[in-house]
Amino acid sequence: MIIAPSLLAVWDKTGGDVAEICRIAQLLEAAGADWLHVDVMDGAFVSPKTFGIESLRAIRGSVKLPLDIHLMVKNPQQVIEDYIKYGRAGGKEMRVVIHPTAAKPQEINACLQFLAAEGITGGLALDIDEDIDWIDNFSAQITQILVMTVKAGAGGQAFRPEMLEKVKKIKQKWSDKMVIIDGGINDKTISYAAKSKVDGVVAGSYVVGAENYAEAIDLLRRGG
């Protein structure tokens, strides 16, 4: 199972101190994280505002791990090129997921086509209230689906197990897609993820708040 610690939890912990975020990102890399998940919020699509271009640039320069960029922004077509420029600087791997309701369908489609043309893994992120029917519109352009198991935005929320029914339906209909869940993942809720056979989890507060990052990551990877 892929374990992607969420840097949003680090942002919250440090008050957005970029130097400290980069330091902790390096520790998470050394502790065995597979990806680092970066929640880019514009303060409009969701609040608050986090991870601007310069902070992403600093993070990318501090670690080699793939960055899993979750664009929670209105009109992602206006910023996606800049985030790609810095997210893959130095030839490093990155992935980008966007919300289907963040812009008009043709603009979401254009973003996904752009990612594909650039050789970057693209995907859809589905919030609690975003239906899986959106996948039909973009299935040819995506390889990854991020299913929110909390409401997109603030970290530290409680896991919503009913969202695993959404995961089940996605895996039945789009078995070729990688499914990642995001929100409320800890040593208790990871068993839900393991049973639902997701490909990976985004974990924030549980990992970042642990005394030993490596032990926390290993426990999640083993499914509890």
The pLDDT tens digits for 113-141 are 999 999 999 999 999 999 999 999 999 99
Taking residues 100-121, what's their average pLDDT?
96
Strands 178-182 and 200-203: parallel
E-strand ranges in the chain read: 2-5, 36-42, 49-50, 67-72, 94-98, 121-126, 144-148, 178-182, 200-203
Give the span between the Cα atoms of 149 and 158, in whole angstroms. Answer: 8
- Kindly indicate the confidence band of residue 195, based on its pLDDT and cuts at 50, 70 and 90: very high
The full length of the chain comes to: 224
Q: What is the pLDDT of residue 224?
A: 74
Q: What is the pLDDT of residue 152?
A: 84
Alpha-carbon dihedral 59, 113, 43, 164, rounded to 10 degrees:
-90
Residues tagged active-site: 39, 182
Q: Which two tokens stand for residue 104?
A: 């008009």
Please determine, for residue 43, whether its predicted confidence score (pLDDT) is greater than 90: yes
Strand order in the sheet with 67-72: 2-5, 200-203, 178-182, 144-148, 121-126, 94-98, 67-72, 36-42, 49-50
Percent residues over pLDDT 70 in the chain: 99
Alpha-carbon dihedral 109, 110, 114, 115, rounded to 10 degrees:
-30
Q: Which amino acid is at 96?
A: V
Taking residues 160-184, what's their average pLDDT?
96
Please determine, for residue 155, whether its predicted confidence score (pLDDT) is greater than 80: no
Domains of the chain (ranges plus CATH)? 2-221 (3.20.20.70)
Q: What is the pLDDT of residue 129?
A: 94
Estimate the share of the chain in helix, then strand, then coil, as percent rounded to the nearest 5. 45, 20, 35
Q: What is the pLDDT of residue 35?
A: 98
pTM, full prediction: 0.96
For residue 66, count other CB atoms closer than 10 A to its CB.
20
Give the span between the Cα atoms of 150 and 178, in whole angstroms. Answer: 19
Q: What is the pLDDT of residue 180?
A: 99
- Which residues are registered as beta bridge partners of 122? 96
Q: What is the pLDDT of residue 221?
A: 97
Taking residues 165-178, what's their average pLDDT?
97
- Kindly indicate the confidence band of residue 54, based on its pLDDT and cuts at 50, 70 and 90: very high
